[in-house]
Amino acid sequence: MTGIAFVGTGFVADYYMTTLANHPQLRLAGVWDRDETRLAAFAGYWKVNRYASLDAALADPAVTIVVNLTTPESHYMVNRAALLAGKHVYCEKPLAMDVEQASELVDLARVRGMVLAGAPANALSEAHALCTSLLASGAIGTPRLVYAEMEDGPVFQANWREWRSRSGARWPGVHEFEVGCTLEHAGYAASWLVSLFGPVAEVSAISALTFPDKGPGTENLSLGPDFSVGCLSFRSGVTARVTCGLAAPRDRSLTIIGDKGTIVVRDLWDNRSPIHLEAFGAKRPLQHRILDWVEWKVGRKLPLRLYAGRKVRYPARVVASQLPAYPSKIDFVGGIAAQAEAIARGETPYFSGATARHLTEIVLALNSGRQGYRPLDL
């Protein structure tokens, strides 16, 4: 049994509590938040211990891993304090707000013999495992080109001020608009891409604030980019285009094009997302051929979307996971569980150390619209 502590009890913390039940080998020793009202509401709802201060959480001998769920600008400070206190750290994305601080944390963890791991955990999903097996089998030959979409839809036009987590936390819309959607969401795509295709050699991107008016209460704020698009050149030879935005219709798909076919993952936020496989030259499914025939007959494109190829079957499930509701169907605690298991075996989890920094570098480069940026060597 590995003891963990949550630092930060905002909106995302409820996702972690929902999925904690999937991992009985982890025990939540307590939680802390600088907002006493929020802390009391969270601890009362979930019936968990609350610490009087951050120092109290870091001093608790029952805690092996500190889970940093604070706002991005607090990540560096909390991560550093936890490492100096002799705790392993699992941090929500990104590790820090600049590459120098992220590198400092990686070095500090190495010197002190601690494991610094980072979110997101969606690349530990069943969908990722199935996609990995398809690539390994040579189903589409050698991967050449990838399109990763992280479009969240026009969130700022929705009724986001009324959104609440299970324990009553408000969705931090204003803060997310200030930080920018790329910093918040591009990691969900980057984690898949790096784990499938290896390190990125170069990033070229543009980012922009395309909708400066996000509604009442945001008029005088300095808002971050709400759109970015980047081209990632991988050392393995794969090229990927990554888009991230807050205006285009919701699309969190991944399309991998090889020299023998394509794989489409419908939703990177779905632990068991439907996955479609199409071999070049294979007979197209009947429903695709019928749709083509109907569209030719009526002379227009119909409002239907069919994914290329056949839907791939998943292996039979042993136990169903508890997941948050759509659209966040991710086992958030899965990353902490993988970290704890690796620590117990004396191993290094994949999404830790230099790899976690690599993901942070990629996201920061996309967010700032860097051209020709070359991440540090892994």
Distance separating alpha carbons of residues 54 and 7, to the nearest angstrom: 8
Residue 40: CA count within 13 A, CB half-sphere: 3
| Peptide bond between residue 94 and the one before it cis (omega within 30 degrees of 0) | yes
Residue 91 neighbours by CB under 8 Å, 6+ apart = 67, 68, 75, 78, 79, 116, 117, 118, 119, 356
Distance separating alpha carbons of residues 109 and 353, to the nearest angstrom: 8
**In this predicted model, what pLDDT tens digit does every residue of 41-90 receive, in sequence order?**
999 999 999 999 999 999 999 999 999 999 999 999 999 999 999 999 99
Distance separating alpha carbons of residues 267 and 244, to the nearest angstrom: 14
**In this predicted model, what pLDDT tens digit does every residue of 232-262 receive, in sequence order?**
999 999 999 999 999 999 999 999 999 999 9
Q: Sign of dihedral through CA atoms 362, 365, 367, 372?
A: negative
**CATH 3.40.640.10 at 2-122, yes or no:** no
pTM of the model: 0.95
Which segments of the chain belong to CATH 3.30.360.10? 123-327+352-368
**In this predicted model, what pLDDT tens digit does every residue of 310-328 receive, in sequence order?**
999 999 886 778 999 999 9
Residue 276 neighbours by CB under 8 Å, 6+ apart = 262, 263, 264, 266, 307, 308, 309, 310, 311, 312
Distance separating alpha carbons of residues 247 and 1, to the nearest angstrom: 44
**In this predicted model, what pLDDT tens digit does every residue of 137-170 receive, in sequence order?**
999 999 999 999 999 999 999 999 999 999 999 9
Which segments of the chain belong to CATH 3.40.50.720? 2-122
Fold of 123-327+352-368: Dihydrodipicolinate Reductase; domain 2 (3.30.360)
Distance separating alpha carbons of residues 125 and 132, to the nearest angstrom: 11
- Give the strand pairing for 2-7 and 65-68: parallel
